[in-house]
Amino acid sequence: MKLTLKANSKINLLLDITGIKKNGYHKLFTIMQSISLGDIITVEKTDGEEITVSCDTEGVPTDKRNIVYKCAEKFFDYAGIKKNTGIHIHIEKHTPFCAGMGGGSADGAAVLVALNKIFNTNYPEKVLCRIGVKVGADIPFCIVGGTALALDTGAIVAPLPDLEGYHIVVVKPNDGISTKEAYDAVDSLEYMKHPKNEQMLEYFADCDFPNGLKLCSNVFEQAFDINGRVDIKDIMNKNGAVASCMTGSGSAVYGIFKEKENAEASAKLLEKQFENVYICTPEKNGVEIISQKN
């Protein structure tokens, strides 16, 4: 069997750090949203005896370091499938690197969904999430997808009403920052202003998106600067964005627009300064099966 899937990336509509666990991991309160920008993942059962990975983009590891490889291993371990089962995974990259958009996590989520179907294990979503969280904290959300609240390290995911009728412009500045550097910067803050978490959650639960989106916020923006971020948000806001914010630990910045024309006008201006500009829409799913060949 051969499956081709779309692994939708994500943005953080709200991202707060509420504490640090005994194991050193940060406790999060975040509302995430799947968007239409995503990688294309092909998963195929082979006659070989190992997991192999390929990618159309230079610089992406195609060995055991890749999240998709790790997810396949964890799936086989959980399902009791013998180690010498042959599977090939191909990644067609569209989501930018070091952007805070969960590209690798989305790819891993797609692999888990594919293997569940290929091997007829029929695991429910919550079991796939349990397998995925062993590899990455964002993977459970990328499996569930849509609009959702994520808590703790990101492993607890609660679906929310779908965000609909909006257009999203995403810009990846040339500069990037590693996740470790971003968290180190946050930890060094003497004072952190926290977003209005409960109020935004209440708005989203009640489908009051106009008021909810006014509260989009990311505490990482207090900890470090990314060249171009202020200019990006300024252009978005001047062109009618109802919200503009950095996603994840950076460095991508998004703007949310009610009118498509405003999103397009903003993107056109941003393309004059930045190479990676995308116009997206909210998605209801984290993973979509595009085609299946038996």
Catalytic residue positions?
A: 10, 138
CA gyration radius for the chain? 19
Q: Which two tokens stand for residue 32?
A: 């995430």
The amino acid present at 192, given as its one-letter code, is: M
Nearest to 43, CA basis, from 93, 8, 91, 89: 89
Q: Where are the alpha helices (DSSP H) in the chain?
A: 67-79, 103-118, 125-132, 139-144, 179-187, 197-205, 209-213, 229-238, 260-270
Instruction: Give Cβ neighbours of residue 290 (< 8 Å, ≥ 6 apart).
Output: 4, 5, 6, 40
Q: How many CA atoms are closer than 13 Å to the CA of 73, on its beta-carbon side?
A: 12
Instruction: Find residue 181's DSSP bridge partners.
Output: none
Euclidean distance between CA atoms 36 and 278, whole angstroms: 10
